[in-house]
Chains A and B, each alone.
Chain A
Amino acid sequence: MTLKRILTAAVLIPAVVATVWWAPTSVVTVAATMVALLALLEFFALGEHAGLRGYRVWTGFCAIAIFFTQWLASIEQTRELAGGLHLTRVPEAAEAFSI
């Protein structure tokens, strides 16, 4: 069991690290959405075992919409400050961003 666990991790970890480091945010969003949808299916299976049948299709659509909205928000993050001042962060500036 431990060997199987280690082997699975040895295959998946490099793939996840490579996706996060080299892939653009759009690809990470698609990958994260797929993971969320798979987890949703398992969550619904748990619900069914407890006698509760969730609305799979519309929950799936809502999940896709949430990830899409987060992606939209991440490609142009605008903050509203006091006095009606808006700060919009562009990707080039984000590269040099530090606290």
Chain B
Amino acid sequence: MEESLGGLSVSSAALIFLVLPLSAVVRLDGIGVGGRKLLLFTLVLVWVGDTAAYFVGRSVGRWRMAPNLSPKKTWEGAAANLVGSVLVAIVAQRWITEVPVRHLIAMAALANIAGQAGDLLESAYKRSAGMKDSGTLLPGHGGMLDRIDALVLAAPVVWYYFNWLADRTH
């Protein structure tokens, strides 16, 4: 019985915290050209944010963000992550004309915060399992889960923000 409950909790957690939120990328892509732009925007803001956090955290990071979960994450890296994503929104406003710029910036900021929460959540999983990386599939990045951890929570934020905006406007 204990084994069943343990298995059920792992399976349910995988569906609730991984599969269901990640499936928002399909809904975003399905909107059409505007959706494809928003999906690329989501991917780029996660990539730029992650890269900014990595390099800024490594070079000037002093204040540890979550020493128990992820010892290398710093507040300086987190700030660079957020700033990087907002910069992506500012640059992308010329291309994503479907969404007003203030909403694009808010969307990027909220998606970035959600993405960083997703990153920390995955760190918590790895920490509880006593592992450093989720896998070795992607050289230099670790596993697939390591690569998509931020996207998993950022994508539904963009999708629901877009829906809220569409409902509010029409």
**What residues make up the interface of A, taking CB atoms closer than 8 Å to B?**
1-9, 12-13, 16-17, 20-21, 25, 28-29, 32, 35-36, 38-47, 49-55, 58-59, 62-63, 66-67, 70-71, 73-75, 77, 91, 94-95, 97-99
Contacts and interface: CB of A to CB of B under 8 A. Distances in A.
Nearest to A5: B140
B100 interface: yes
A76 to B, nearest CB: 9
Given A9-B47, A46-B128, 10 more contacts: A1-B140, A4-B140, A9-B140, A17-B40, A20-B29, A28-B29, A42-B137, A49-B129, A63-B19, A74-B27
- How many interface residues does chain B have, given as a range? 35 or more
Interface of B: 3, 6-11, 13-15, 18-20, 22-27, 29-36, 39-40, 43, 47, 97-100, 103, 125-126, 128-131, 134-135, 137-141, 143-145, 148, 165-166, 169
A47 to B, nearest CB: 4
Given A17-B40, A43-B18, A44-B14, A94 B125 contact: no
10 contacts: A4-B139, A20-B36, A21-B36, A29-B29, A36-B22, A39-B144, A42-B145, A44-B14, A46-B126, A97-B32
